[in-house]
Amino acid sequence: MPTITTSDGTRIHYKDWGSGRPVVFSHGWPLNADVWDEQLRLVAGNGFRAIAHDRRGHGRSDQPWHGNDMDTYADDLAQLIEQLDLRDAVLVGHSTGGGEVARYLGRHGSARAAKAVLLGAVPPLMLQGPGNPEGTPLAAFDDIRAGVDGNRSQFYWELSESFYGFDRPDADLVGAAGIRRAFWLWGMQVGARGAYECVRQFSETDFTEDLRRIDVPTLIAHGDDDQIVPIAAAALKAAKLVPDNVLKVYPGGSHGLHGAYRTAFEADLLEFLKS
């Protein structure tokens, strides 16, 4: 199982498939690199080198007490890229991973990056406030923390329903049970400390200046029925901040990729990678 070791001694697990131009995937909360398996296989099968890591505290990476913050997540990504000596990379981030990509580019620059993809991503800011009325109230994130701190097994199972939009009256439920079980399994692999601390990072971090600093072509992709990261506070605002971007909105798309939404995004991703 390949790992890198960061400057603070944390081991970060990663997958590395195929060869060619590197495409580096950052996952959402509370998941790990496995959530990208289908896209990794797709990208590697189309002549790219597909890489995905487990964020610290998540999956097979170490679960340190310290460093569960967005700056450190971005620094871990930077060290992965540097230790693998990746250049001309395309950085792909979903949800919290989109914040990680934005913070990486804002904090470390684009010397090793050529493009970026933000899918259902949390930037610029999830938390509702005077300057962000479209955001989500703090009480909702307090509820998430309570779920993680309580019966987290039941919480992750229940969260999986809205994550993939399976609670909608017209939802396609074919295969839903398997998708929800996978989500639960990945969630249960997150360390309790890392899971709890990450909630503040994805909800309260303001990525506005990071987005303004992105100086590479960026694909911003979002489902318009995302119940976890509502599009009005996320992609629609991010598209006004990133200098060079293409916005793709998927009608009826949920937060998690599945079904027609997944098919459409994968086609857009390949087109963007090859352009």
DSSP, residue by residue, 106-132: HHH-STTEEEEEEES---S--B-BTTB
- Helix, strand, coil % (nearest 5) of the chain? 45, 20, 40
Of 58, 222, 255, 258, which residue is the catalytic one? 255
Q: Is 85 a catalytic residue?
A: no
Q: Is 162 exposed, middle or buried (0-12, 13-18, 19+ CB in 10 A)?
A: middle
Task: State residue 255 phi and psi, 5-degree precision.
Answer: -80, -45
Contacts of 190 (CB under 8 A, 6+ apart): 29, 30, 32, 57, 58, 59, 198
- Geometric angle at alpha carbon 16, from 73 and 192, rounded to 5°: 40
Residue 223 Ramachandran class (φ > 0 left, ψ -120 to 50 alpha, else beta): beta
Q: Is 95 a catalytic residue?
A: yes
Residues 150 and 142: beta-carbon distance below 8 Å: no
Which residues on adjacent β-strands are paired with residue 119? 94, 221
Q: Is 94 a catalytic residue?
A: no
The DSSP call for residue 32 is -
Contacts of 164 (CB under 8 A, 6+ apart): 176, 179, 180, 183, 254, 255, 256, 258
Of 95, 160, 203, 254, which residue is the catalytic one? 95
Of 76, 226, 254, 258, which residue is the catalytic one? 226
Q: What are the residue numbers of the active site?
A: 95, 226, 255
